[in-house]
Amino acid sequence: MLKYLFMIIFLIPICLLGNCWWLVHSLIFLLSFIFMISLYSYSDLSMISYYFGVDFYSFMLILLSLWICCLMITASSSIYSSSYHPNFFVFVVLLLLIMLFCSFSSLNLFSFYIFFESSLVPTLFLILGWGYQPERLQAGVYLMFYTLVASLPLLLVLFSINDVFNTLYYPLLIDFGSFYFLFYVFSIFAFLVKMPIFLFHLWLPKAHVEAPISGSMILAGILLKLGGYGIFRMMKVISCLGLSFNYFVLSLSLFGGVIISFVCFRQVDLKSLIAYSSVAHMSLVICGLMTMNWWGCMGSLSLMIGHGLCSSGLFCLSNIIYERLGSRSLLINKGMINLMPSMTIWWFLLSSSNMASPPSLNLLGEFSLLNSIISWSSYMILLLIFLSFFSAVYTLYMYSYSQHGLYYSGVYTCSLGYFREYHLLFLHWFPLNLLCLKGEYFYF
């Protein structure tokens, strides 16, 4: 694992050279392909060193981190063309990639906690440094306040686990056996806020709306998945408590997902709509993890990977329109099929993937999560029907409203897509639909 980490670290001097972002971009791509062929085992921990090691769950999320960070550099061409500190921008992206790599491959729960929290700092730099409106300061405060306050109880839990087992080394931990409700809440609250669960989700749309395209891509693509990965790891320690209390989180999450779907209908800001749809999708992932069975865990992994690619691609599309029209409002960004006809096919492909139509990976994930949640409680079927149906409704609303109808009369000219943009969208869509054809990777 250290050889990959050192390769990323040694990219930092390159990013400080003038106008060498393309070289960093190419080398991260190369690293992702090298990493892709190095998976030795599908179930057990592999590539173990003293601090780092991966199993299939963390392997896939590290691969997603490499892929999304590479696409972030591609998407941020406006930073290079305006020469607005491009070297520092690439440095922040690499710093974030190092934090994510270490988070997903840490075998010690305390080092995982440190890297989990550290990933906030580069994200905050992205929002405050390259965000659009003055309100980005408020969004940054929201982001830090929600996530840090929720994480402090987790630190107390880690100290108490260390007190009992004298280690925080993940493979050696067993069920804690405590029956305190507060212990259960403190263990997973930080990860639920990061996901985010309904009632603690307000920081996410705010951060997305104020963030630059790179910030939105990494937030939707990877940082939400840190929460899911953390729950997956902590469930080993609190499985007895989970059997008693998981129904509470599962019910809240599912109800919240349906309510957030209704909130999506009322959005006129394109970025805000995609951000709220992320909350609805993540509610399904939380439910899958809370069932604590194989279908649920693997289904949540495949939905996290699918959502990371799909949501990131949708943010890229909204940014492509924003760069041309200077607005994210659906009232202005309508009838785009008349102005950018070749971009409409990408809107259609990524929107259809977002509502889990075949052959997207989201479909595979949602099927297994439905299977898992219904086997846990058949009473949940009604809420799941609502969640799946409304997910399709707001995605169709977004697609049809932005692409069809008359275009806004204030728009006089609009450039068609560049090759870079089509390439960027293809690299989101292609793995999203290709992975579905190899579903046995996730389940067997």
Question: What pLDDT, on a 0 to 100 scale, did the predictor assign at position 37?
Answer: 83
Q: Are 200 and 192 in contact (CB under 8 A)?
A: yes
Residue 385 has pLDDT above 80, yes or no: yes
Question: What pLDDT, on a 0 to 100 scale, did the predictor assign at position 285?
Answer: 95
Please give the distance of CA 62 from its chain centroid, rounded to a whole number. Answer: 12
Question: What pLDDT, on a 0 to 100 scale, did the predictor assign at position 223?
Answer: 93
Give per-residue pLDDT as tens, 237-267: 888 888 888 999 999 999 999 999 999 999 9
Among left, alpha and beta (phi > 0; psi -120 to 50; other), residue 360 is beta
Handedness of CA 120, 365, 444, 174 (dihedral sign): positive
Q: Which residue has the higher pLDDT, 386 or 39?
A: 386
Give per-residue pLDDT as tens, 65-115: 999 999 999 999 888 888 888 899 999 999 999 999 999 999 899 999 999
pLDDT above 90 coverage of the chain, percent = 64
Question: What pLDDT, on a 0 to 100 scale, did the predictor assign at position 275?
Answer: 94
Give per-residue pLDDT as tens, 394-442: 999 999 999 998 888 888 778 888 999 999 999 999 999 998 888 887 7
What global pTM score does this model have? 0.94
Q: CA-to-CA distance for 61 and 104, rounded, in angstroms?
A: 7
Residue 55 confidence class, pLDDT cut points 50, 70, 90? confident
Task: Compute the average pLDDT of residues 13-27.
Answer: 87
First to last CA, the chain: 24
Task: Compute the average pLDDT of residues 134-144.
Answer: 91
> What is the average pLDDT value for the chain, to the nearest integer?
90
Q: CA-to-CA distance for 190 and 114, rounded, in angstroms?
A: 13
| DSSP labels, 211-270 | S-HHHHHHIIIIIHHHHHHHHHHHTTTSHHHHHHHHHHHHHHHHHHHHHHHHHHHT--BH
Question: What pLDDT, on a 0 to 100 scale, did the predictor assign at position 54?
Answer: 86
Residue 41 confidence class, pLDDT cut points 50, 70, 90? low
Question: What pLDDT, on a 0 to 100 scale, did the predictor assign at position 3?
Answer: 85
Question: What pLDDT, on a 0 to 100 scale, did the predictor assign at position 232?
Answer: 93
Q: Lowest mean pLDDT: which of 3-7, 85-89, 110-114, 173-177?
A: 173-177
Question: What pLDDT, on a 0 to 100 scale, did the predictor assign at position 103?
Answer: 94
Residue 44 has pLDDT above 90, yes or no: no
* Bond into 359 cis (ω within 30): yes
Question: What pLDDT, on a 0 to 100 scale, did the predictor assign at position 154?
Answer: 93
Question: What pLDDT, on a 0 to 100 scale, did the predictor assign at position 171?
Answer: 82
Spatial CA neighbour of 274 closest among 222, 228, 221: 221
Beta-bridge partner residues of 169: 108
Give per-residue pLDDT as tens, 210-226: 999 999 999 999 999 99
Residue 277 has pLDDT above 80, yes or no: yes
Residue 17 confidence class, pLDDT cut points 50, 70, 90? confident
Residue 43 has pLDDT above 60, yes or no: no
Residue 28 confidence class, pLDDT cut points 50, 70, 90? very high
